[in-house]
Amino acid sequence: MSTASSASRTTREQIVDAADQLFYEQGFDSTSFADIAATVNLSRGNFYYHFKTKDDLLEAVIDQRLRNTQALLQQWEQQGAQPQDRIRCFIHILIANQARILLYGCPVGTLTTELAKLNHHALDQANAVFTLFRTWLRQQFQAMGRKQDADELAMHVLGRSQGVATLASAFQDEKFLKQEVKRLNQWLQQCVDDAKQ
Amino acid sequence: MSTASSASRTTREQIVDAADQLFYEQGFDSTSFADIAATVNLSRGNFYYHFKTKDDLLEAVIDQRLRNTQALLQQWEQQGAQPQDRIRCFIHILIANQARILLYGCPVGTLTTELAKLNHHALDQANAVFTLFRTWLRQQFQAMGRKQDADELAMHVLGRSQGVATLASAFQDEKFLKQEVKRLNQWLQQCVDDAKQ
DNA sequence: TGAAGCCTAGGACAAGCGTCCTAGGGCTGT
DNA sequence: ACAGCCCTAGGACGCTTGTCCTAGGCTTCA
């Protein structure tokens, strides 16, 4: 029974993984069950067994992204000694995921934008990924001594990253991406220096 | 004949206007001819007379946006005495179009993002709108005396605006939008002061 | 009055979509 | 060997999509 159950979960996981990637690359609306089925080598009609509707699948994908994000933040929590080092971990994902960002933009931003236009009820859930980053960044700025404007600074970093991803993707401009990352790191250093005084 | 021709153009213009707005609000892909037909009070099948394909309609919409953008830039050119005043005109659209941005994000950024995911051939045309702003901003920074890094600064402003629009829309946060506009204006003032020395 | 051309309504069309059903293969435990 | 259950293939369904066609109502000019 445990083998059967785990095998079942494996197929389900494969579906979610494939959907996760395709939703990112092609968008949610224009990714069909047929596309996902072809990736996982499964018959199209059989999806009903695993997910009753396409919205259920979307919810599973976002849930996975939420879990992955939380794991990532926890990892950064241990990697960086100082709060500013942890924030630098966040900024660095622009470099680490450079290739995909140049092709498809930010996975979080593009999904929320699409769901907003579709008036989709899962929009709040998708926005929760943003909120995870926002809350985490706020905590880092608070730890840096910026109690007053920690949330504003967190939103600032989040916004700058969004803009970089959008434009770098539009212009397919790797140089711009790296320039802006440098600028953002400089701005962060300024924050650190300001807080010390 | 002249009346007939102008009436024809009026219907065509109505279609383009409706498509322009709906593509912005709902996205290109999930806006159907039926949606547009309902807005213009026209029979769905008859679109073929005005636009042979949906892609033709999209091209017409983007062409209109290009013309509108050029007119806007020309207007700012006359409004602002100093280059920095003109750049402030650009930044100010975030305030002027606030309501729509909170609901649907940036019209330019969201379209290019969608077309990129759809692998649509009109992507280059859509990106041209970005290029119009970029070139114009670059000229303003050059006029400010920043010959060396004018393009980098132009891209910086463009990127910041994109980020603001994306996040303000995601969080439906008017306060954030205004905060960031203030920050951006402060940054611009810093640029002016730096250039003076 | 009549011919010509612009523009329209309304529907047909094939294709693709999400959804749902049924029959059965291949394990599991008795 | 057999019953029960997990999971699957394959196809049917109703609907919407973009596209395309045809017949005819207008206006315009002779």
Whether A141 and A154 have beta carbons less than 8 Å apart is answered as yes
Task: Suggest the residue from A21, A117, A191 to mutate for an interface test with chain B (most B CBs closer than 10 A).
Answer: A117
Dump pLDDT digits (tens) for A84-120.
Answer: 999 999 999 999 999 999 999 999 999 999 999 999 9
Q: Which helix (H) or strand (E) holds B50?
A: helix B47-50
- The full set of domain ranges for chain B reads 1-52, 63-196
Of B156, B115, B118, nearest to B138 by C-alpha is: B156
Q: For residue B7, give the 3-state DSSP assignment.
A: helix
CA distances from A28 to A35, A57, A127, B68, B114 (A): 11, 10, 15, 31, 11
Q: B63-196 domain in CATH 2.60.120.560?
A: no
Dump pLDDT digits (tens) for A2-23.
Answer: 333 333 368 999 999 999 999 9
Give A193's pLDDT tier (boundaries 50, 70, 90): confident
Whether B145 and B92 have beta carbons less than 8 Å apart is answered as no
Dump pLDDT digits (tens) for B70-102.
Answer: 999 999 999 988 999 999 999 999 999 999 999
Chain A hits for B26, Cβ within 8 Å: 117-118
Name the residue in chain A with its Cα closest to that of B164: A159
Q: For residue B56, give the 3-state DSSP assignment.
A: helix
Which pTM value belongs to this model? 0.93
Chain A hits for B30, Cβ within 8 Å: 29, 117-118
In CATH, the number for domain B1-52 is 1.10.10.60
